[in-house]
Copies of this chain bind each other. A is one copy, B any other.
Amino acid sequence: MNEKKQIYKPRPISGFPEWLPEERLVEQRWLDHIRRIFESYGYCSIETPAVEELNVIAAKGEDVDKEIYVLERLHKQQGDKEARLALHFDQTVPFARYVAQNFNELVYPFKRYQMQKVWRGERPQMGRMREFYQCDIDVINPDNLPLSFDAECAAVMYEVLAGLPDVCDPVTKEEKKLNVQLVISNRKILMGVCEYLEILNKAGVLNIIDKLGKIGNEGVWNLLRDDIGLTDIQINNLAQLTNNNVLIADNDDFYAFFEQARTSPFANNPLFLEGINELQEVAKNLFHIPLGGAAISISIVRGLDYYTGTVYETQLLDVPEFTGSVCSGGRYDDLAGSYINKHLPGVGISIGFSRLFDVMRQTKRLKIGAKSPTHILILLLEETQRENAHTKARALRTQGFNVEVFHAPSKIDKQFKYAEKKLIPFIYVPMDNDAKTWEIKNMAARTQTSESEGMKELLNARC
């Protein structure tokens, strides 16, 4: 043919990440792990559409911050009357709308998880994702939500992050755990201190303290002085608190921390004391977390005014390339006040999944391996072997193995090369023209044994 084809060479779209099959396999293992932990605590899944009515999203008044993508039908006709739709930018707004809509169908306390993509129409710039997975859990209950769920959310997320599979040292490639520290506080503590210090602009103070990680101590004190007009005494009092960290553990340091707080002058303020009591109650239900995995830091505030009590952040201790908190959240007073006439306090925590995955991927901290889920490749050396090869494959599949039969009789080298390229760990080799007997080759060990011997290795490898 001499016809010249018009080739439109596609490029990646900035901000919309996409992985190769071998990367996707690890991403799936991460998502499976997260889902398994969420479900092990009894959280149920909900999934909402990618879109909401623009009104619903705008009801929270956050559309300006979060840069919303609105939808338009390409072939919309004049006179088509439809609500304006927009892609959701988080999972909280859809969750609130879902609860309002299905309020009487749900069982309370309602514990739900949600693992979906969200979209933010950021201006294109390096490193910013416009589409990414979030993995959220939340518990809500009408009128009054027990404090035990504040501890549960933290415990779940520690277990999720510390247990992420296929993480390795970037240099030695040895498998290792993600070294995380969950940091908690309670906003009532700083709010109470502000009251005690007779500071009127409490929200302003908290928003500045929230910048500690970015601009450091000096930066924060300067802003408090210059922007809010705090006195040196006020600033010293705040600094004394926000520099106060302690690991969560059933030990003397821990109890001394709370003793000191209760005997400080701030304890004259009821809100401060309430915050301290709540924080200790939550923390003492986290003693099972290995030492160093959980800490208290009064400086944690989370920017949003939304949170009213417990707040969470999570630091990756061994991944300097990852800035900020990988997993955050807190307790809020009312989930769905704009949509329903019910008082729904809740607590929730959210992993920014895709950014974490991408940083780990780019810094070579993921064990990227096989290019397919196949455990076993069955060789096909003669056409006469096809029927028995497929019968064998079906039998192995019912045992839970993922099995491919090579598609056509061809040179054995070619078939081995296919398995090597995909990193398929085991190969079934037919030993006669009708494939009535087999041997199993273990690709890592480079050994070939009888089927019964090889099956033992196969079963071991799967565990």
Contacts and interface: CB of A to CB of B under 8 A. Distances in A.
Interface of A: 5-13, 16-21, 24-25, 27-28, 39-53, 55-56, 59, 63-64, 67-76, 80, 82-83, 85-87, 97-98, 100-102, 105-107, 109, 111-112, 117, 119, 121, 123-124, 131, 146, 148-149, 285, 288, 337-341, 371-374, 377, 386, 390-391, 394, 397, 401-405, 407-408, 418, 421-422
Contacts of A386: 148, 285
A199 to B, nearest CB: 25
10 contacts: A7-B338, A10-B53, A10-B97, A39-B373, A42-B377, A44-B373, A70-B72, A70-B73, A107-B418, A288-B391
A70 B74 contact: yes
Given A51-B16, A63-B74, A70-B71, A337 B5 contact: yes
Given A111-B372, A402-B40, A8 B56 contact: yes
B51 A8 contact: no
B8 A339 contact: yes
Nearest to A83: B13
A374 B337 contact: no
Nearest to A377: B42
A361 to B, nearest CB: 14
Contacts of A42: 372-374, 377, 402-404
A6 B64 contact: no
A10 B56 contact: yes
Contact of A107 (B12, B18, B337, B421): B421
Given A55-B8, A63-B74, A146-B407, A18 B40 contact: no
A21 B41 contact: no
A63 B75 CA distance: 9
A85 B13 contact: yes
A12 B403 contact: no
A147 B40 CA distance: 44
A131 B51 contact: yes
A51 B32 CA distance: 24
Contacts of A27: 47
Contact of A67 (B50, B73, B401): B73
A340 B44 contact: no
A24 B41 contact: no
Contacts of A85: 13
A21 B44 contact: yes
Contacts of A43: 372-373
Contacts of A421: 107
Chain B CB within 10 A, most for which of A45, A149, A408: A45
A8 B83 contact: no
B20 A102 contact: yes
B24 A288 contact: no
Contacts of A53: 10, 13
A401 to B, nearest CB: 7
Nearest to A11: B101
Contact of A49 (B13, B337, B339): B13
Contact of A19 (B47, B56, B100, B374): B47
Nearest to A376: B42
Given A13-B83, A70-B71, 6 more contacts: A5-B338, A8-B55, A8-B56, A16-B49, A25-B44, A44-B373
A152 to B, nearest CB: 8
The 9 closest A-B pairs by CB, nearest first: A42-B404, A73-B121, A16-B49, A42-B374, A39-B373, A44-B372, A21-B44, A68-B74, A146-B407
Residue of A24, A47, A339 contacting most chain B CB atoms (<10 Å): A47
Contact of A75 (B25, B44, B67, B102): B67
B422 A50 contact: no
